[in-house]
Amino acid sequence: MEFEKGLYVPPMEWNDTMPMMNWLSTGKQVTWILRDRNTGAENAENHWNFTVGDVVKIRIFNDPETIHPMNHPVHIHGQRFLVTEIDGVANPNLVWKDTAIVPVGTTVDFLLDVTNPGDWMMHCHISEHLQAGMMLQFHVDE
């Protein structure tokens, strides 16, 4: 997944047709990456700094050209955000969230409302992906 500083996503049921790929894609064999296109920083190398009151646009692209493409539920601790666009189409139903699905091959724009000072984390809410490094930390000054 790549990002730069919605629409309704239908519910989904896990339909696993790749058992061998799932068996092989553990944290020991696969590294899930959150890459900042502007800096090239990946996962915990990202160092975002905000100030309370900032409103930040975060664009996330879920690259379909990976070894094991799948949807990712992206979770942001300590703050709230709106999903403003999916693939460039305005979201007509703006609702505050702390987690949103980013489907394969899709670009999702978040508008982060920075309100809580401290150190916080953004990560994929699939625990195996978090364990494999798909996370970053950001700091919020008062």
Tell me: pLDDT of 14 over 70: no
Tell me: pLDDT of 125 over 80: yes
In terms of Cβ atoms closer than 10 Å to its own Cβ (0-12, 13-18, 19+), residue 12 is: exposed
The mean pLDDT value for 66-89 works out to 93
pTM: 0.76
pLDDT in tens, 94-116: 999 999 999 999 999 999 999 99
Do 114 and 134 meet the contact criterion of CB atoms below 8 Å apart? no
| Nearest residue to 129 via CA among 26, 21, 44, 40 | 26
Domains in the chain with CATH codes:
2-8+30-141 (2.60.40.420)
CA 82 to chain CA centroid, Å, is 13
d(CA 45, CA 73): 21
**Model pLDDT, residue 94:** 96
